[in-house]
Structure 1
Amino acid sequence: MKTQLIAILLIVTTGILSAQSGKSISNYQQIEKQTDAIYSSLVEIRRDLHMHPELSKQEKRTSKIVAEYLEKLGIEVKTNIGGNGVVGILKGDKEGRNIAWRADMDAIKTNEPDVVDFKSKNEGVRHICGHDVHTTIGLGIATVLSQQKEDLEGTVYFIFQPAEETFTGAKDMIEDGLFDIIKPDEVYGLHIGPETFGMINVKANELFAHTKTLKVKFKPSANENELENFMNSILKGFVRNIEQKGSPWDIINKISDPKIGLTSKETIFKDYFILQGARLNTDTDKAVTFYNASFLETDIKRVNNIPHEIKKLILNSKFKDSFISIGYSKDYAGTPINDPELTRIATQTISSFYNKEMFTPLYGQVPYFGEDFIFYQQKVPGVFFFLGGSNIEKGISSMPHTPNFAVDEKTIKYGVQSFATLLLERANSK
């Protein structure tokens, strides 16, 4: 009897799992078809946003376009959150998990000429970080998921954020009550990266290196040159694993190198310290001498220990009587810290539907960049991805913040398909 019951349970359970799996595949196929159907309209939206870029805290036109688009989809919309922030709330027909997706909207000041036919009409402003693509993908995901509402168990929140480039937008939205309006269990987002269009990259824990500015105060000293040389020698002692020659771009350009770049197990972008710059200054009334040094460090424990280590060396030197204090100044750059378990689940989920060859893990941390997505992750667990946009054969390079930045727009389709599927699966997970 017991054996029969177990057999029956196995048959029933297998049938349920098979039905659930079949339903997920069906949903993905629908998302794929729906994305294909709206792809040309998404390209039009992206090009319109690209031609009308807006700087941080000035995204009024973009914000209006986003809000009106979401309203036409029948999605509940909240506006003017933290400035020009917009939130869309898509409630499914059944109970489930609450999942948030974030897209940023602002552009950058640059006098470099646009490299595409649909050039920026706002002089001195361009989308050279891909936020026009991010916004478009967010709208695409909202479109296909609104068409999957009957199969959506739970709620999906769409956060369209201003002022990411000034590292203030996420904070502004949170301080303006974002998490009183929405109650997500998880949060996800992406940034265009330099890999091939459609390529998705991710890793658990820190995605970027920690960027810090160290500030050390001394009483004025007659031996300022000697003090500066002493401090420089201390900071240079922390440098490891990445040879610092030339400009930062000489290092950044190695990110996509197949042998030593971020997607290689032999990457040089793992466990490193890069000293960006150091200088000694005396304030105008000559009351205090400041030593400032900026650096990149991959290990948060080392970041926390560096001031203590430097202080010990100073107090054991001839400059101990001149020493006043040491600490970090406020820093813009931050690193998203991806929840390890959600990263694993997200990777498996997308890979099960998406082309596995286009889903590549990262083995190192990105230098010289920051992201205020970290402020959402401080509230709820989440994962931040890179989505490639380059096409070498067409001469398209999607390395953010470079003068010749461009994106193969086919990556919009891949972004919508893969991440709409992820959000649907996560919302429907128990």
Structure 2
Amino acid sequence: MISTVFPTSTPTLSGVRLAIRQLQPQIVLWRRQIHQQPELAFREAQTAAFISQKLTDWGIEHETGVAKTGIVAVVQGQQPGPVLAIRADMDALPIQEMNEVEYRSQQDGVMHACGHDGHVAIALGTAYYLSQHRDSFCGTVKFIFQPAEEGPGGAKPMIEAGALENPDVDAIIGLHLWNNLPVGTVGVRTGPMMAATEFFHCTIRGRGGHGAIPHQTVDSIVVAAQVVNAIQTIVARNIDPLKSAVVTLGELHAGSAVNVIADQARMSGTVRYFDEMYEGYFARRLDEIIGGVCQCHGASYELDYNPLYPPVVNDADITELVRSAALAVVETPAGVVPECQTMGGEDMSFFLRAVPGCYFFLGSANQAKNLAYPHHHPRFDFDEAALSTGVEIFVRCVESFCQG
């Protein structure tokens, strides 16, 4: 369990070099411009155009239209060397913003409620800084601006489109602004950081009839109720208690009248786990349990199982690179939270399967400013002081990786 202590004031940027601190107002402006024009998965045309225009203005070579709306940019250092990629997701969510701020969303029913606008701004700030300080590093930095993280997933299509090639990427890093940690802190760990994300939809088919004559029916609601209870045993009795996993039913729909036995029930849910050894296991076990319960009652079923994203697993060496950079930036060693995990999912996992890398959390909450609403909340916002911190950590990672 992570104990989160929120500061009463915004931390100073003492660990951020002067050139990046001076860039802070511009990074904030970019973030707010993106925030005002949020776009859903694979529709990020305006966001991509904004990014492309900035890169063009700065003379940074880049390719657009990668996996529909993605962008891959390249910044060369002073001398040849390894290739480090920096990934930033750029899609928004179908949420109506409730914040009363001057930069609130101008798109009805669409909002940057997870911080991706900040991710893009941090990546742009890093690209600009490095393009102006090519003598500070060797090798190549590849910036991957990715669509559709919120689903159905843009990382895999970008990899298939060659985002990690020409030149081939040696390692990759990325961050997520995180309102579960206070601004001025960084969450980073080796190994599993975020969970696998899998979804399932099941339809149980019985035989409907009159509520007063149940013996002529197969009650799909009774069957569904037993399925709901039975699948809770997967984690409780099939998974090693020293490992973490979750099976959650989020939807259950059945019936249309008080005196009618429903002929079908529909349920949907999600599965989360950290250990890659469980890939495929939950789909098989759900099928066995649902099939067994339905057979007992003479019902039939259809199960649609979708393993969306695998777990986010950080490489030990690249995690140490990020941890060292973070320690140089945050004010105290206690500001680097070592065992930060969440059952949330992220398709950064596909990049981390392709090349060694590290995904980390950048604390962004500030209770004193009322900036502590959770992700995906209609009042989500974050302390923009985190933006410069993110740029500084990325820049330090580049300098250390490409020089040594």
1:371-416 alpha-carbon deviations (Å, 9 max, x no partner): 1111212211211111111111111125211111111111111111
Cα deviation digits, residues 79-122 of structure 1 (max 9, x gap): 11111211110111212211000111122222232332222222
State the AA in 1 paired with 2:63. K
| Partner-residue secondary structure (3-state), 2:165 | helix
Is residue 211 from structure 1 mapped to residue 212 from structure 2 by the alignment? no
- The change in CA–CA distance for 1:278 and 1:409 in structure 2 (over 3 A counts) is closer
- The answer for the alignment partner of 1:275 in structure 2 is 248
Aligned residue for 1:390? 365
**Is 1:381 aligned to 2:377, yes or no?**
no
2:227 matched residue in structure 1: 231
Structure 1 residues 314 and 156: CA distance shift in structure 2, 3 A: closer
Aligned to 1:200: 186
Q: Deviations over 1:153-178 (max 9, x none)?
A: 21100111122222332223223232
The verdict on how the C-alpha distance between 1:326 and 1:154 changes in structure 2, with shifts beyond 3 A counting, is farther
Q: Which residue of 1 aligns with 2:334?
A: 357
- Relative to structure 2, which stretch is displaced further, 270-279 or 122-131? 270-279
Native 8 Å contact 1:311 1:326 kept in 2: no
TM-score (norm 1): 0.75
The equivalent of 2:67 in structure 1 is 82
How many angstroms apart in 2 are the aligned matches of 1:96 and 1:41?
Answer: 30
State the secondary structure of the residue aligned to 2:68.
coil
Long gaps (5+) in structure 1? 1-28, 242-268
Return closer, same or farther for 1:34/1:277 CA change in 2, 3 Å cut-off. Answer: same
Q: Which amino acid aligns with 2:157?
A: D
Deviates more, 1:414-423 or 1:230-239: 230-239
Q: CA-to-partner distance for each residue in 1:233-254, whole Å, 9 max, x for gaps?
A: 321223559xxxxxxxxxxxxx
Looking at structure 2, the residues matched to 220 and 405 of structure 1 have their Cα atoms a distance apart, in angstroms, of 43
| Equivalent pairs, count | 370
2:150 pairs with 154, 161, 165, which one?
Answer: 165
Q: How far apart, in 1, do the equivalents of 2:324 and 2:18 lie?
A: 22
Task: Please tell me the root mean square deviation across aligned C-alpha atoms, in Å.
Answer: 3.5
Using the TM superposition, give the Cα deviation of residue 344 of structure 1 relative to its aligned residue in structure 2, in angstroms.
Answer: 3.1
Identity of aligned residues (%): 27
User: What is the distance in 2 between the residues matched to 1:84 and 1:315?
Assistant: 41
Match of 1:347 in 2: 323
Residue 119 of structure 1 aligns with which residue?
A: 104
- CA positional deviation for 1:187: 0.8
Q: Is 1:131 the counterpart of 2:116 in the alignment?
A: yes
CA deviations over 1:264-318 (Å, ceiling 9, x no partner): xxxxx97243423465879xxx999877553334444456444555666678879
1:195-238 CA-partner distances (Å, limit 9, x unpaired): 11132112222222333335678785735455334322321223
Of the three residues 132, 135, 143, the one matched with 1:150 is 135
> 293-302 or 114-123: which moved more?
293-302
Secondary structure of the 2:82 match is strand
Q: Is the 8 A contact 1:90 1:157 kept in 2?
A: yes
What corresponds to 1:180 in structure 2?
A: 165
Which residue of 407, 410, 421 corresponds with 2:382? 407
Conserved in 1, the CA contact under 8 Å of 2:204 and 2:224?
no
- 1:236 maps to a residue whose letter is Q
Q: Which amino acid letter does the alignment assign opposite residue 377 of structure 1?
A: L
Q: What code does the residue aligned with 1:228 have?
A: A
Q: 1:110 aligns with which of 63, 86, 95?
A: 95
User: Does the 8 Å contact 1:192/1:400 carry over to 2?
Assistant: no
Unpaired runs of at least 5, structure 2 = 1-13, 208-217, 256-261
Q: Contact between 2:67 and 2:154, CA under 8 Å: does it hold in 1?
A: yes
CA–CA distance in structure 1, aligned partners of residues 377 and 246 of structure 2: 23
In structure 1, distance between residues paired with 2:367 and 2:101: 16
The aligned counterpart of 1:6 is none
In 1, Cα distance between the equivalents of 2:58 and 2:107? 29
Change (3 A) 1:417 1:398: farther
Q: Secondary structure at the match of 1:211?
A: strand
Task: Answer whether contact 2:283 2:305 (CA < 8 A) is retained.
Answer: no
